[in-house]
Chain A
Amino acid sequence: MEGVARVLRSGALGVDVGSALNLVAAVLKYLAAAFLLPAAVAVGYREPVWPFLAAGAVTAATGLLVERGTQDKERVGPREGFLVVALIWLAVPAFGALPYLFADEPQLARPVDAYFEAMSGFTATGATLLTDIESLDRSLALWRQFTQWLGGMGIVVLAVAVLPRLRVGGRQLFQSELAGPTELERLTATIRETARRLWVLYVGLTLVAIAVLTAYGWTGADDAMGLYDATAHAFSTLAIGGFSTREDSMAAFAPVTQWTIVVFLLLAGINFLRLYLVLVRGKVRAVARDDEFRLYLAFAAAGSALLLVELLAGDSSHGEEAVREAVFQAVSIMTTAGFATADYTAWSPLAGLTLLVLMFLGASAGSTGGSIKVVRHLLMFRIIRRELEQTVHREAVVPVRLNTTVVEDRALRGVVTFIVLYIGLFALGALGLLVDAKRVAVEVGAFEALGAAAACLGNVGPAFGFAGPFGSYEPFSDLSTGVLTGLMWLGRLEIIPVAVLLTRGYWRA
């Protein structure tokens, strides 16, 4: 005992785990409120309400208990921030999985499966273990969509917007959760206001999407669409999640709906901080002149074109249908949503490889998309160009710029670190999946393993083979599911906050 005290006193442990836990608990406490939405839906459709109520009660109780059990220091340091974010993203899916367990849903009866589904939800991945989605209760299906919506813009960002105690020290939490490497561009003076405006924009866009989609249903432009489906898909579109209430994803809906989804996916893939400037302040230039935005559109166009060539060469579809299928798949995979209007697993190798590469592009920084993100590709390209230039001109000083502002060397090194870690984790994940598949004798080819690892790490969702857009991750073993869950978690937090926890320097004083 004295030894432990001594270690603590002598500074062997440099992280205040207590206050980190305290903050996690505070966030959990408020998560309980999220269960009210599916509960209401359940009441509306006369489905059992108690799974949501019980889940809400358990969440709230745990949050309160842990909060009381740990001391409240009011302020967490930058060091604890990493721990807080990592723990929140582990804990929230755990509690989000409770309704699946309580509802006695046979497809998600085991905790591992339920946790995978919840993690896939909150990280806005969209990979599913369900083999028959439409057999789910409507309330449960909506909860599934809702988890994506909650996770899309970020739980911590929401917490910063709402919780008063996070006002101080929230900035660092905020940055470890918000996607992308760019320094937070402040819209207003306070971090809290920024978080609020992000959420206002997010909610606003979601409402617009619901309205538009519902209108299609009412006007008869799309017979398959109703208010329920409109809401469910608006949730997972703006979050760039990819969950659907339908077995065949967006293929169940009319072309006009599919085009609409493409537009909203593209919107959701833009940097929200910039989108706010355009939509609310009317500063169109903020986006139009943005290097990242241009490259983002170029990538989307190039991906679509490649797929279109492939579709036309393969003679599988023609005209508008071919264009729509190519554009939809390219945008959906690139922005890391994971919706599908066609079973691309049946397409030829070129499409497969193109889609695999698109999985690594991702959307813009500060959007709700996952993966590497366009701005990092842009910066990486510029870093390499600078390297080459300095090989020839050894003394040249070449600052790397983004939209005329010079990017600090430290930020550049962060970009490089992220990319290298990303590639490393991807390779490791794919190997892990293959090893495990071998162990339990599941048929997984090398390419399928690469696809699954890329899809989960990039928070895309569907992969290739049996885990394709209309398939399910169900055939994977428990261990593989665990690995994939880990990849989703790592990918959503952009690796570094988690990787930092694994260094010895983090825990030492």
Chain B
Amino acid sequence: MSAAADRLRRLVGVDVGAALNLVGALVRYLSLAFLLPIGVALWYSEPVAPFLLAGGIVAAAGLGLEHVTQGKERVGPREGFLVVALTWLFAAAAGALPYLFADEPQLGGPVNAYFESMSGFTTTGASVLTDIEALDRSLLLWRQFTQWLGGMGIIVLALAVLPRLRVGGRQLMESELPGPELEPLAASIRETARRLWTVYVALTALEIVVLSLLAWTGADESMSFFDAVAHAFTTMPTGGFSTQGESIGAFGPATQWTVVAFMALAGSNFVLMYRTLVRRTPRAYARDEEFRLYGALLVLGSAIVLVELLHVGLESGEEAVRHAVFQATSLMTTTGYASVDFNEWTAVAPLAVMVLVALMFVGGSAASTAGSIKVVRHVLIGKILRRELDQTLHPEVVQPVRLNRRTVDERTLRAVIGFVLLYVGIFVLGAILLVVEATRVGVTVTPFEAIAASATTLGNVGPALGFAGPIGSFEPFSDLSKGIMIALMWIGRLELVPVVVLFTRAYWRA
């Protein structure tokens, strides 16, 4: 027995025990997150039991896991991938518990609950709910809160708060934080994590204040303090869950413009933002190549949608501008809010919808809370292509690729290319699987809708087209399809590599 175990240990190059131990610790602390919905439930006199129970189970499971694998405290860089991947799977599972315990009929099945929870933590915003407003307020807020927790990253948060992770933390953080490479913001990884969370919390607080002010001053009658908090929780992580069936379309123009501004902020580089706020150098933004392209693409996307809307006569005046800008910003930053049901544009304005789907592949900036490919990778791809073409002609030319005047490592460049190819591959695979499965169970999904569904879940955007449009729900998909999309959201949130690596033989071999 022990000989076999020994052989296995020598064969497997990954210390699964240590990884699980760390996952247990992380999950244990997650139980604290249930305090917020408990408070809300008490305030609104709604049942507290689901959250208490969920919190208890999560804490017990975490402690149990930690106890079983005790004595192995050190995770190396290799275990990091496993830790990150598993933590996100467990976190989503933990987040699904309240839905199940609350006896919410729309989320009764475990798959539905898990889908909703994964969509929350990965800040996707795809929902299987058909009647959102029927949910308890405490449950609604929990839904929003999962997005807020997942936005800047569970592990980044843990790094900021927990002392133990300091060892090996950098690699964990890099796997979780969006973008190709981490620019050091502070000397220690812990300080970096803290600063990122500080900016994140500050911006969320600011948005709550602004939205509440809109409500109190009467600028937007449909806004309340509850809605302000709930939507601030999902704007900053570019999540996209709403407490309203009509998403942001339920609120007034003032709110919509405010949300646009915060979405654009949430999609920009937080490291850059911190530097700007602390050092007061707004020029850093103007000089940043990624930010320039980010701004340009936002404007361009909005403009095309606007022209199309005006051309087909769907909207006019301020409304047209607002809807065009809102939809473009929402989908490009991978938030997934909607101010109008753009699914209805598909027939009349296919160009607008096509542009919106294309924007799903752009994403926000590196080190933002947005998902998808990210602008900086597009910038780098462009530069790599230009260099390749140049080298076709001049094979001897040596040309380092520069980003903001700094040379980018060849290794990083290769990783960027690998990422983009992998992204496209997984996206195509996802789309095909969705159509195959839809055909099997007899759900009508057009190829374009399948493409949109695959893109939206992999890019952590949220709404797709057809029945899964912004006002619609993913409920009609079969359980297997939902499973595929859960996987896509998970892979997309962790930026592919930490998950895909787990499926290679090289990872497990000693």
Check B439–A445 contact: CB distance below 8 A.
Answer: no
| A44: chain B residues within 8 A (beta carbon) | none
Interface residues of A in 443-464 (CB under 8 A from B): 444-447, 449-450
Assembled-state Cα–Cα distance A55/B381 (Å): 45
Interfacial chain A residues near B392, Cβ < 8 Å: 414, 496, 500
- CB closest residue in chain B, given A396: B506
B388 x A413 contact (CB < 8 A): yes
Are B439 and A310 in contact (CB-based, < 8 A)?
A: yes
The reply to whether B414 and A420 contact each other, CB–CB distance below 8 Å, is: no
Closest to A439 in B: B311
Contacts of B386 in A (CB 8 A): 503
Q: Which residues of A have CB within 8 Å of B421?
A: 380, 383-384, 416, 419-420
Q: Smallest CB–CB gap between B180 and chain A, Å?
A: 12
- Please tell me if the beta carbons of B447 and A417 are within 8 angstroms of each other in the complex: no
- Please name all residues of chain B whose beta carbon is closer than 8 Å to the beta carbon of A350 when the two chains form the complex: 435-436, 438-439
Is B398 close to A, CB under 8 A? no
Contacts of B420 in A (CB 8 A): 420
> For the complex, is A421 an interface residue (Cβ under 8 Å from B)?
yes
Is B400 among interface residues, defined by CB-CB distance under 8 A? no
Contact with B along A418-430 (1 / 0, CB 8 A): 0111010001001
State whether the Cβ of B103 lies closer than 8 Å to any Cβ in chain A. no
Asked if A500 contacts B389 (CB within 8 A), the reply is: yes
B408 → chain A closest CB, angstroms: 15
**Partner pick for B445 among A349, A357, A389, CB 8 A cutoff:** A349
State whether A389 and B506 are in contact (beta carbons under 8 Å apart), knowing that A352-B447, A420-B417, A445-B350 are contacts in the complex.
Answer: yes
Which of B193-201, B208-216, B352-360 lies on the face that meets chain A?
B352-360
Closest Cβ of chain B to A95, distance in Å, is 29
Is B227 part of the binding interface, using a Cβ–Cβ cutoff of 8 Å?
no
- Is A184 interfacial (CB 8 A cutoff)? no
- Distance in angstroms from A468 CB to nearest chain B CB is 14
Residues of B contacting A348 in the complex (Cβ-Cβ under 8 angstroms): 439
- A438 adjacent to B351 (CB under 8 Å): yes
A384 to B355, CA, bound (A): 28
Any A CB within 8 A of the CB of B57: no
Nearest residue (CB) in B for A416 is B417
Name the A residues within 8 Å of B418 (CB-CB).
Answer: 383-384, 387-388
**Given known contacts A388-B504, A431-B358, is B447 in contact with A420 (CB within 8 Å)?**
no
C-alpha spacing A427/B440, complex, angstroms: 29
Interface stretch (choices B104-112, B246-254, B422-430): B422-430
Report if A438-B504 is in contact (Cβ < 8 Å); known contacts: A383-B421, A419-B421, A500-B393. no
Rounded to whole angstroms, the CA-CA distance of A22 and B465 in the bound complex is 54
B405 within 8 A of A: no
Q: Is the interface of B mostly helix, strand, loop or mixed?
A: helix
Judge if A331 is at the interface, Cβ distance under 8 Å. Answer: no
A313 B439 Cβ-Cβ under 8 A = yes
Partner of A392, one of B351, B425, B506: B506
Chain B interface extent, by class: 35 or more
A453 to B348 Cα, complex, angstroms: 21
Output the least CB separation between B33 and chain A (Å).
31
A297-351: which residues lie under 8 A (CB-CB) from chain B? Answer: 306, 310, 313, 348-350
Q: Is the CB of B504 within 8 A of A349?
A: no
Shortest Cβ distance from residue B295 to the other chain A in the assembled complex, whole angstroms: 20
Tell me, yes or no, whether A354 is within 8 Å of chain B by CB: yes
* Nearest A-chain residue to B450, judged by Cβ: A353
Q: Mark B338-364, 1 if CB is under 8 A from A, else 0.
A: 000000001001110111011000000
Residues of A close to B391: CB separation below 8 A: 410
Q: Which of A79, A82, A348, A430 has the most CB of B within 10 A?
A: A348
B393 close to A392 (CB less than 8 A): no
Query: Does B29 lie at the interface of the complex (its beta carbon under 8 Å from any beta carbon of A)?
Result: no
The answer, yes or no, to whether A403 is at the interface (CB within 8 Å) is no
Which residues from 388 to 416 on chain A have a C-beta closer than 8 Å to any C-beta of chain B?
Answer: 388-393, 396, 410, 413-414, 416
| C-alpha spacing A449/B350, complex, angstroms | 10
Asked if A349 and B506 sit within 8 Å, CB to CB, the answer is no
Q: B389 touches which one: A349, A353, A499 (CB < 8 A)?
A: A499
A385 at the interface (CB under 8 A from B): yes
Query: In the complex, are the beta carbons of B415 and A447 less than 8 A apart?
Result: no
Q: Which A-chain residue is minimally distant from B440 (CB atoms)?
A: A313
- Is B504 touching A356 in the complex (CB atoms < 8 A)? no
Q: Which of A387, A414, A496, A506 meets B414, CB within 8 Å?
A: A387
Q: Do A423 and B354 have beta carbons less than 8 Å apart?
A: no
Task: Specify which chain A residues have a CB less than 8 angstroms from the CB of B349 in the assembled complex.
Answer: 438
Q: Are B432 and A354 in contact (CB under 8 A)?
A: yes
In the assembled complex, which residues on chain A have CB atoms less than 8 Å from the CB atom of B415?
387, 391
A200 at the interface (CB under 8 A from B): no
Q: Please provide the chain B residues from 353 to 384 with a CB less than 8 Å away from any CB of chain A in the complex.
A: 353-355, 357-358, 381, 384
A67-79 vs B, Cβ < 8 Å mask (1 yes, 0 no): 0000000000011
A224 part of interface (Cβ distance < 8 Å): no
Nearest CB on A from B190, distance (A): 23
Interface residues of B in 85-119 (CB under 8 A from A): none
State whether the Cβ of B61 lies closer than 8 Å to any Cβ in chain A. Answer: no
Bound form: Cα–Cα A266–B500 in Å: 34
- Flag whether B446 is at the interface (Cβ < 8 A): yes
B489 at the interface (CB under 8 A from A): no
Closest to A313 in B: B439
Q: Is A13 an interface residue (CB 8 A)?
A: no
The distance in angstroms between the C-alpha atoms of A350 and B451, with both chains bound, is 12
Complexed CA–CA distance, A430 and B358 (Å) = 11
Whether the Cβ atoms of B425 and A384 lie closer than 8 Å is yes
B263 interface residue, CB < 8 Å from A? no
Q: Let me know if B284 is at the binding interface, CB within 8 A.
A: no
**CB atoms of B358 and A427 under 8 A apart:** yes
Inter-chain contacts of B428 with A (CB < 8 A): 357
B137 within 8 A of A: no
B residues within 8 A CB of A383?
417-418, 421
In chain B between 454 and 473, which residues have their CB closer than 8 angstroms to a CB of chain A? Answer: none
User: In the bound complex, what is the Cα–Cα distance between A402 and B438 (angstroms)?
Assistant: 37
CB of B389 within 8 A of CB of A496, answer yes
Chain A residues with CB under 8 Å of B381's CB are 420
A282 cross-chain contacts in B, Cβ below 8 A: none
Q: Does A435 contact B (CB under 8 A)?
A: yes
Residue numbers in A under 8 Å from B265 (CB-CB): none
B1 touches A (CB below 8 Å) = no
Q: Identify A389's interface contact among B78, B444, B504, CB under 8 A.
A: B504
Contacts of A417 in B (CB 8 A): 384-385, 388-389
Between A350, A393, A438, A446, the greatest number of chain B beta carbons within 10 A of the residue's beta carbon is seen for A446
Q: A392-B507, A449-B350 are in contact. List 7 more A-B contacts (CB 8 A).
A: A349-B439, A353-B432, A356-B447, A384-B421, A417-B388, A435-B351, A446-B448
7 closest cross-chain pairs (CB), A and B: A387-B418, A417-B388, A353-B447, A389-B506, A350-B439, A447-B448, A434-B351
Which residues of A does B touch, CB under 8 Å? 78-79, 82, 306, 310, 313, 348-350, 352-354, 356-357, 380, 383-385, 387-393, 396, 410, 413-414, 416-417, 419-421, 423, 427, 430-431, 434-435, 438, 444-447, 449-450, 496, 499-500, 503, 505-506
Cross-chain pairs A/B with CB under 8 angstroms, 7 sampled: A306-B436, A353-B451, A384-B425, A392-B501, A423-B424, A434-B351, A447-B446
**Footprint of A on B, CB under 8 Å?**
78, 81, 308, 311-312, 346, 349-351, 353-355, 357-358, 381, 384-386, 388-395, 411, 414-415, 417-418, 420-422, 424-425, 428, 431-432, 435-436, 438-440, 444-448, 450-451, 497, 500-501, 504, 506-507
